[in-house]
Amino acid sequence: MAKPQIFREFNEESEFKGAEGVWYWSRLLTRRAGLFRPVVMGMEIKKLNLMNFDRAAMAAWFQARGEKPFRAQQLLKWIHQQGVVDFDAMTNLSKALREDLKAVAEIHGLTVVADQNSSDGSRKWLFELADGNRIESVYIPEAERATLCISSQVGCALNCSFCSTARQGFNRNLSTAEIIGQLWTVNRLLGGTDSRPISNVVFMGMGEPLLNFDNVIRATHLMQDDFAYALSKRRVTLSTAGVVPGLQQLADVTDISLALSLHAADDELRSKLVPLNRKYAIHEVLQACKNYVGEGRRRLTVEYVMLDGVNDSDKQARALAQLLRHVPSKLNLIPFNPFPATMYRRSSPERIESFRDILHRSGIVTITRKTRGDDIDAACGQLAGDFKDRTRRRERFAAEATGGLS
Ligand code: SAH
């Protein structure tokens, strides 16, 4: 007989697949022994958080257990639109199904450990995950919309030299439930207040979303699903440092908007700012982005952090204009947001303006991003979270900062 799946290790990442085993054993035990909780050899099994499922995965899960696939639509509406976490309140499900679900599954968002308000109206939350790691999300209200900037990983493995998250190192990928949980939880926190409801989501918080491909894509499916958040493809943006294999797969699974963190027009400089460039050079990354956005189907957003004396000269502006000439794109200039012990400075407003003018004159739509939430360290690149760094990068930075004397 095959080894029961129940003996798999249950952590956030395996929880999704482990649900198979949990469901099987819980059905067996509830039927044969009259037990209502899945207990094996005296050990209680971790329940599956239903926030890990997008509609397709949830429909397959129900179907495999002899339930109608449309149960997925009902569940998604309860969870994501009504914010209901109690199965007993799900009145359009039979009592038997509710009991089954209660035995093996649960619904929970994230635990808030800090909530900071910026003088400009933006707000940052620090969330604690089940394993004690902490991540951040930022809410940015504007006149016509409100954007939630979310994290895709605990920390980031890419080590971009101008980013504060990079300094913190990396711990692990977030599960789908932890990604969509940021939107779910903030929606609940804003509900009943006069804050503008979230209309846009950007993957510009901690982490590289394309290095957590499956979990991020499942979360974007929920964001776009009419039975969940019903956001249009223009209102969900994935920002990447240029992971080419991920970019190549993207068009098969989604049509959301894409942003590329470019930051330099030549490979030598870009490799210093974004070390991933040593693996995937500019021309290869831009080609993969072009293939995704397609002929006039949509436009790539190109992000370019303005670093004083590093990438902000007129010559570099002309090189950038040349590079983007054949890419359907719009350019976002991001004034650098400083953090402790960084070696970079923000370009002056005059420098940013003349850089922008050169691009404008070359026919590239260019805007300078307004810095939001910098008084609460919530601006681009300032999210730090709180977690155990598996890369020991934090220690190395501290040693460098003290000249190796620490
Ligand atoms: N890994 C993804 C998403 C996270 S970073 C990516 O690289 O796109 C989100 C955006 O913030 C990126 O464009 C990034 O380059 C920018 N950013 C990072 N640190 C910054 C800083 N200190 N000041 C301004 N922008 C920064």
Verify that 69 and 182 share a domain, yes or no.
Answer: no
Q: Which residues of 164-191 are buried (b: 16+ CB within 10 A; e: fewer)?
A: bbbbbbbbbbbbbbbbbbbbbbbbebbe
Per the domain annotation, does 305 fall within a domain? yes
Contact, 13 vs 173, CB < 8 A? yes
Tell me the CA–centroid distance for residue 10 and ligand 1, in Å.
Answer: 33
* Residue nearest to ligand 1 atom 6, measured at CA: 240
Count CA atoms within 13 Å of residue 400 on its CB side. Answer: 10
For residue 38, pLDDT over 80 is answered with: no
Calculate the alpha carbon distances from 13 to 54, 71, 174, 182 in Å: 15, 24, 8, 17
Mutate to test the pocket of ligand 1, among 167, 212, 261 (most ligand atoms within 8 A of CB): 261
Average pLDDT value for residue range 31-53: 63
| pLDDT of 28 above 60 | no
Q: Which residue has the higher pLDDT, 272 or 393?
A: 272
Look at ligand 1, atom 10, and give the residue with the nearest C-alpha: 204
State which amino acid sits at residue 214. Answer: D
Strand, coil or helix: 220: helix
Residue 61: which domain range?
A: 5-106
Task: Give the atom of ligand 1 at the shortest distance from the alpha carbon of 208.
Answer: 1
The protein residue with its alpha carbon nearest to ligand 1, atom 1, reads: 208
Find the 328 Cα to ligand 1 centroid distance in Å: 21
391 within domain boundaries:
no
The whole-chain average pLDDT of the chain stands at: 88
Asked if 195 and 269 sit in the same domain, the reply is yes
Angle (CA) 130 374 159, round 5°: 60
Average pLDDT of the residues in 361-386 = 86
Atom 19, ligand 1: residue with shortest CA distance: 381
> What is the per-residue pLDDT for 297?
65
- Of 68, 88, 106, the last residue of a domain is 106
Residue nearest to atom 9 of ligand 1 (CA): 204
pLDDT at 340: 87
* One domain for residues 150 and 221: yes
Pocket test for ligand 1, best of 135, 154, 160 (most atoms within 8 A of CB): 160
Q: Output the CA 15–ligand 1 centroid distance in Å.
A: 30
Cα–Cα separations (whole angstroms), residue 372 to 122, 137, 234, 344, 406: 7, 13, 21, 19, 35
Q: Residue 399 falls within a domain, yes or no?
A: no
Regarding predicted confidence, which is higher, 341 or 18? 341
**Are residues 375 and 297 both part of a single domain?**
yes
Ligand 1 atom 15: residue of nearest CA = 261
Domain shared by 219 and 298, yes or no: yes
Is residue 324 within 8 Å of residue 364, measured between CB atoms?
yes
pLDDT of the residue at 3: 33
Q: Which of 27-31, 141-145, 180-184, 201-205 has the lowest mean pLDDT?
A: 27-31
Q: Any idea what the CATH number is for the domain that residue 314 is in?
A: 3.20.20.70
Q: Does residue 400 lie in a domain region?
A: no
Substitution site in 203, 305, 332, 367 for ligand 1 pocket (most atoms within 8 Å of beta carbon): 305
At 233-265, the pLDDT tens digits run: 999 999 999 999 999 999 999 999 999 999 999
Lining ligand 1 with CB less than 6 A are 162-164, 204, 208, 239-241, 261, 303, 305, 334, 336-337, 380-381
The pLDDT value given to residue 386: 85
pLDDT, residue 293, reads 94
Segment of 14-23, 189-198, 273-282 carrying the highest mean pLDDT: 273-282
What pLDDT shows up at residue 177?
A: 98
**pLDDT mean over 137-159:** 96
pLDDT at 191: 87
Q: Would the pLDDT of 9 be above 70?
A: no
pLDDT for the residue numbered 315: 98
Ligand 1 midpoint to CA 11 (Å): 29
Higher pLDDT, 45 or 129: 129
Average pLDDT over every residue of 385-397: 82
pTM: 0.89
**CATH number (domain holding residue 63):** 1.10.150.530
Q: How far is the CA of 283 from the centre of ligand 1 (A)?
A: 20
Element (H, E) at 186: helix 176-190
Within a domain: 267: yes
Q: pLDDT above 70 covers what percent of the chain? A: 86
Mean pLDDT of 55-78: 95
Higher pLDDT, 34 or 87: 87
Same domain, 115 and 98: no
User: Of the given ranges (270-274, 322-326, 380-384, 399-403), which has the lowest mean pLDDT?
Assistant: 399-403
Catalytic residues: 136, 380
Given a cut of 80, is residue 34 above it in pLDDT?
A: no
Whether residues 153 and 252 share a domain: the answer is: yes
261 CA to centre of ligand 1 in angstroms: 7
Is there a domain that residue 207 lies in? Answer: yes
* Domain end call among 106, 141, 169: 106
**Does 406 reside within a domain?**
no
Task: Based on the fold, state whether residues 216 and 325 are members of the same structural domain.
Answer: yes
Domain membership of residue 392 (yes or no) is no
Whether residues 47 and 63 fall in one domain: yes
Write the DSSP assignment of 17-65 as a string of letters: HHHHHHHHHHHHHHHHH--SS-EETTEEPPPEEGGG--HHHHHHHHHHT
The predicted structure's pLDDT at residue 401: 63
**pLDDT over 70 at 164, yes or no:** yes
pLDDT of 2 over the 60 cut: no
For residue 220, the tally of other CB atoms under 10 A from its CB is 27
Q: How many CA atoms lie within 13 A of 331 on its CB side?
A: 29
State the Cα angle at 333 between 359 and 269, rounded to 5°.
Answer: 85
Given a contact cutoff of 8 angstroms between Cβ atoms, the answer to whether 5 and 18 are in contact is yes
- 247 and 302 housed in the same domain: yes
The answer to whether 67 and 73 are in contact (CB under 8 A) is: no
Do 191 and 57 fall within a single domain? Answer: no
- Pair 95, 120 in one domain: no
Number of domains in the chain: 2
Q: 239 or 5, which is more confident?
A: 239
